[in-house]
Chain A
Amino acid sequence: MNIAESHIDKNNNKTHIASCNACKQCAPLGACIAFKGIEGMLPMLHGSQGCATYIRRYLISHFREPMDIASSNFSEETTIFGGNRNFNDGIDNIISQYHPAVIAIASTCLSETIGEDVQRLIYEYKGMHENESDLPEMIFASTPSYQGTHLEGFHEAVFAAIKALSENAGSVGNHINLFCNMISPEDIRHLKEIVEDFAVQSMIFPDYSDTLDSTSWDNYHRISEGGTPVSSLRRSGSAYASVELGYILNSGGMNGRIKENAIKQSAGEYLKAKFAVPLVRTGLPIGLLETDKFFDHVSRISGQPTPQKYKQQRGRLIDLYIDGHKYVSGKRVVIYGEEDLVVALAAFAAEIGIKPMLCASGGESGKLQETLKIVLGDLYPGDMIVGQGFSFDQMEESMRDLNPDLMIGNSKGYYIARKMDIPLIRTGFPIHDRIGAQHTRTLGYEGTTILFEQIVNALLEDKQRKSPIGYKYM
């Protein structure tokens, strides 16, 4: 058994009590990303000023877009006497400055610890302004930073928006819900293109493909254009199916949580339970096999065959796999990041003959290993280390004896790749040391094509660079 539990690396029996170089961020950050997928929305963090500022800075360095996140700006008095005045003033000030259609509120560790009841604050605020017809919608996600990671925050926000806005239209519509997980704006655009090509009407959520990847402007836009419209979110209850990308999502237990029964629902599960919307769950479509699954699902749901365009893309991808297979065969890779992304990348690596040696995530669903076993099937390497709740420090320790050839993950692993002098393929979140993170395409046959080429070329570059000869043909 090679699964390493949080803070205990069973390979060398060292304990990790303190976290060193965490491979995760806190829940409110993920909530802010998901909220950015709602049209006309401005987020507010209920807590100290620093949370909003740090998260803004962190997200700007990745998306390179304006990132207006308001804060209720707790003071010492607020912390002692409660945040209702800050909350009300905050909402007033947001409305007067931004005129949003939606104000999305996420809690922080501080407001949760002092026991702020934000749902009640919203209720009271609405009560005080009941004569105002144009009040924005208000959505609340409970995201204490001491629970889960940014991914749990992301999924909690997706769930919160659906729970707050979805309605029962009385009849089943002709549209589907596509819950796309935390992917790049470019990948959201690609998913939209795919479902459109199947002639399926869909609500993709959260759709931050424009809000977090906008054009150059003439005037500052207080709220970026784009996002999933509130009207579409309302209709999510009458969709004829929901497709959810990601096997794990927020389904896991969280380490350090007291009530294990407080396990959360996903948006798709909620709609299934509440409005009987059938739910299909599949992985992030990375690699041929996982992309096939996604296309099969969409094909079945829509009753349409996969369009020729994608059959061609698929064919070209197989052709490319063959062209490149010898460069990657038997290579050893370390994969890290959010759990569902790790599963998808590991499946992809395994199907092209790259051996995942370590699959690590800051997430602690407790489901990473079993999911990898199911998805990779026969290609699951018996000696692979699955590091759940891992920090980069733990990864680095585990990697010493693994002799890896490359790493795939976000930019924070760069320092390890640099020390070990191996290539790092940057994907996922965050990417803070390159431009274009918003344009990384990883999903579908096309995304896999790009990713495969990046990997092969990085290995070739590495070989070329380390060779004394300077080959002109590789």
Chain B
Amino acid sequence: MSEYLQDREKQIVTKGKDAHDVEGGKPSLSGSVSQRACVFCGSRVVLYPIADAVHLVHGPIGCASYTWDIRGALSSGPELHRSSFSTDLREKHVVFGGETQLYQSLVELIDKYQPKAAFVYSTCIVGVIGDDVQSVCKRVAEEKSIPVIPVMSEGFQGSKKDGYKIACDALAALIGTDESLDVSSMSINILGDFNLAGELWILEEYYKKMDIQILAPITGDGRVKNIQNAHRAALNVVQCSGSMMHLAKYMKETYGIPFIKVSYFGIEDMSDALYEVAKFFKNEVVMDKARELVKDQLKNLLPALEPYKTALTGKKAAIYVGGAFKAISLVKALRLIGVKPVIVGTQTGNTDDYRLLKTICDDGCILVDDSNPIELSEFVKQTGADLFIGGVKERPIAYKLGIGFCDHNHERKMALAGYEGMLNFAKEVYETVSSPVWQFVHRTSSEKN
């Protein structure tokens, strides 16, 4: 391990070999090629799917350009979130201030698109040049009579995870500002699903069969009005706990809404997500419906998974994703199809997350926090992984080393949540691992034949 960056030893653990815990939550070292992004990125991805709001990035063009239509977060109605708005700051704004540019941009966009709300994202230099973003937002909100919410997401203020929290604060500013929607006694908010490839709609189908109302999806297929009414739901169901726990806790404290943590990836976690909701409402009819739904789904799904399991048993996978909750679900989902995780890493996991991951992984599995291409490629060679599950930034690592890849990040176009998602996942893993193209790649790992 001599080639790894010094000071990173505490963030790398091999189960069965190292006694210490993986230390999560440390800032990335200078000069590292971290796979992490910035505060702005964290805020932007969380709020991005709100489809009837203007999302205005206050800063030079890059931050807006790189996040244009970046997530496959679908909307059943308006698609304002798929446009990239920026104040496109120039040198003159840096010197003389960008408040006028921000004010005029907001007025122009609100007049043109008639959004239900506007989010204004501060980028690095806005924090430095001292624009009073909050008062500009306040002024425009009064003039235009819509919520205009400052998202103080200057990139240098921390990591992506800090950006999640700032996004939650922005959502908190909206919540509780409207009471006009009809709310059933069995209503939930879905926190932390972003409707990638229509995943929220899959969940909606399930909950509908259980007579549960989804009051506000936050933020997948999100609408300002639903979010404004979110304080009236009976329960918050939180996925992707890394990004939305802050909001769930806030809503519990402020509005007394309890929350449960769930995941929709893999059979086990998906079913638990339905049972836990049924259990919460203490309603036998709902519980029976949940059981029936699960039974119904598994009747088709389990036989359909069988051929994939047969073909994939014994294969080894590397996982490197943003949040730890997703990593945990992936470990379980891979087991279902016979695939053994040999590397599990995340950008934003904390020490407790890694402790849990350690208990569910096998001996020899490498656990890593805030990794980089050099480490990840070393680990792949060491462990002889056949497959990498990650995002676009990890893809070249897998492909250059000649192993399969499965995109489990926000750019994917295939639903991976729910029972359908589990089958899609198995299919995608199988398609990449079993491709005949790998025969042309020389593989030198000693664990290969």
B84 at the interface (CB under 8 A from A): yes
The minimal Cβ–Cβ distance linking B19 to chain A, given in whole angstroms, is 26
> For the complex, is B68 an interface residue (Cβ under 8 Å from A)?
yes
Q: B155, A147: Cβ atoms under 8 Å? A: no
* CB of A457 closer than 8 Å to a CB of B: no
Q: How large is the interface on A (under 10, 10 to 19, 20 to 34, 35 or more residues)?
A: 35 or more
- Interface residue? B351 (CB, 8 A): no
Least CB distance, B98 to chain A, in whole angstroms: 10
- Residue on B nearest A430 in the bound complex, by CB: B65
B91 x A258 contact (CB < 8 A): yes
A328 within 8 A of B: no
A25 to B62, CA, bound (A): 5
Quick check: B443 and A218 within 8 Å, CB to CB?
Answer: yes
Docked-complex contact A72 and B92, CB < 8 angstroms: no
C-alpha spacing A365/B344, complex, angstroms: 48
- Cβ-closest chain A residue relative to B35: A53
Bound form: Cα–Cα A147–B88 in Å: 10
**Complex-state Cα separation, A219 to B377, whole angstroms:** 8
Give Cα distance in the complex from A16 to B104, angstroms: 10
Taking the closest CB of chain B, its distance from the CB of A255, in whole angstroms, is 7
Alpha-carbon separation in the docked complex, A98 to B443 (Å): 23
**Residue pair A76, B91 in contact (C-beta under 8 Å):** no
Give bound CA distance, A73 to B29, whole Å.
7
- Which residue of the partner chain, among B60, B88, B105, B396, contacts A64 with CB atoms under 8 Å? B396
**Is the CB–CB distance between A113 and B94 below 8 Å?**
yes
Q: Is A402 an interface residue (CB 8 A)?
A: no
B95 within 8 A of A: yes
Once A22-B88, A57-B66, A220-B377 are accepted as A-B contacts, the answer to whether A48 and B5 lie under 8 Å apart by CB is: no
| B444 interface residue per 8 A CB criterion | yes
Among B124-132, B214-222, B272-280, the stretch that binds chain A is B124-132
Structural contact, A145 and B62, CB atoms closer than 8 A:
yes
Give CA–CA (A50, B104) in the complex, Å. 27
B360 at interface (Cβ–Cβ under 8 A)? Answer: no
Question: When the two chains form the complex, which single residue of A47, A50, A220 contacts B40, counting CB atoms closer than 8 Å?
Answer: A50
CB distance from A115 to the nearest CB of B (A): 10
Bound CA–CA A438/B233 (angstroms): 51
Question: How far apart are the CA atoms of A97 and B372 in the complex, in Å?
Answer: 11
Contact with A along B99-118 (1 / 0, CB 8 A): 00100111011000000000
A146 engages B90 (CB within 8 Å): yes
Which B residues, 45 to 93, have Cβ-Cβ distances below 8 Å to chain A? Answer: 56, 59-68, 83-93
Q: Does A384 contact B (CB under 8 A)?
A: no
Q: A18 to B56, Cβ gap below 8 A?
A: yes
Our pick among A70, A92, A254 for the contact of B33 (Cβ within 8 Å) is A70
CB distance from B245 to the nearest CB of A (A): 22
Decide: A257 and B34 in contact? CB cutoff 8 A: no
B253 in contact (CB, < 8 A): no
Interface centre among B6, B391, B393, B442 (most CB of A within 10 A): B393
A456, B414: Cα distance in complex, Å: 34
Q: Which chain A residues border B146 with CB–CB below 8 Å?
A: none
A258 touches B29 (CB 8 A): no
Q: Tell yes or no: B185 within 8 A of A by CB.
A: no
CA distance A69 to B66 in the complex (A): 16
Knowing A18-B85, A21-B68, A44-B31 are in contact, say whether A74-B156 is a contact too (CB < 8 A): yes
Asked if B93 contacts A17 (CB within 8 A), the reply is: no
Known contacts A73-B28, A97-B374, A147-B91, A110 near B66 by CB under 8 Å: no
Check if A454 is an interface residue, CB within 8 A of chain B.
Answer: no
Distance (whole angstroms) from the CB of A35 to the closest CB of chain B = 14
Encoded as 1 (CB less than 8 Å from any B CB) or 0, chain A from 209 to 223 comes to 000001011111110
Contact for A20 among B29, B83, B90, CB less than 8 A: B83
Contact status of A17 and B374, CB under 8 A, knowing A56-B393, A114-B128, A217-B400: no
Contacts of A214 in B (CB 8 A): 400
With A18-B87, A217-B401 as given contacts, are A93 and B104 in contact (CB-CB < 8 Å)? no
- Please tell me if A445 contacts chain B, counting CB pairs below 8 Å: no
Residues of A within 8 A of B449 (CB): none
Q: How far is the CA of A114 from the CA of B130 in the complex (A)?
A: 12
CB-nearest residue of chain A relative to B402? A216
A87 proximal to B (CB < 8 A) = yes
Bound: A267/B441 CA distance, A: 40
Pick the most buried of A69, A92, A97, A257: most chain B CB atoms within 10 A of its CB: A97
Q: Is A220 touching B395 in the complex (CB atoms < 8 A)? A: no
Min distance, Cβ A246 to any Cβ of chain B, angstroms: 21
> Does residue B141 face the partner (Cβ distance < 8 Å to A)?
no
Instruction: Decide yes or no: A54 and B66 within 8 Å by CB, A49-B34, A145-B61, A220-B373 being known contacts.
Output: yes
CA distance A125 to B209 in the complex (A): 65
Is B435's beta carbon under 8 Å from chain A?
no
User: CA of A73 to CA of B61 in the docked complex: distance in angstroms?
Assistant: 20
Cβ-neighbour of A91 out of B31, B89, B397 (below 8 A): B31
Chain A: minimal CB distance from B64 (Å): 6
Q: Is B66 within 8 A of A73, CB to CB?
A: no
A68 contacts the other chain (CB 8 A): yes
Indicate if B36 sits at the interface (CB-CB under 8 A): yes
Inter-subunit contact A146/B125 (CB<8 Å): yes
Instruction: Please tell me which one of the listed residues B63, B84, B125, B373 contacts residue A21 in the complex, with CB atoms under 8 A apart.
Output: B84
B3 at the interface (CB under 8 A from A): yes
Q: Contacts A18-B56, A78-B156 known; A47 to B30 CB distance under 8 Å?
A: no
- Seen from chain B, the residues whose Cβ lies within 8 Å of a Cβ on chain A are 3, 5-6, 27-41, 56, 59-68, 83-95, 101, 104-106, 108-109, 123-125, 127-129, 155-159, 373-374, 377-378, 380-381, 391-393, 395-397, 399-402, 440-444
Pairs A-B, 6 closest by C-beta atoms: A256-B90, A50-B38, A26-B62, A93-B31, A220-B377, A90-B31
20 A-B contacts (beta carbon < 8 Å): A18-B106, A22-B64, A22-B68, A22-B86, A22-B88, A25-B61, A26-B62, A54-B62, A55-B66, A64-B399, A68-B374, A71-B31, A71-B34, A73-B29, A79-B124, A93-B29, A110-B125, A217-B401, A220-B380, A256-B91
A-B contact sample (9 more), CB < 8 A, given A25-B65, A52-B33, A93-B5: A15-B108, A19-B64, A20-B84, A21-B68, A49-B155, A52-B34, A71-B32, A71-B33, A257-B92
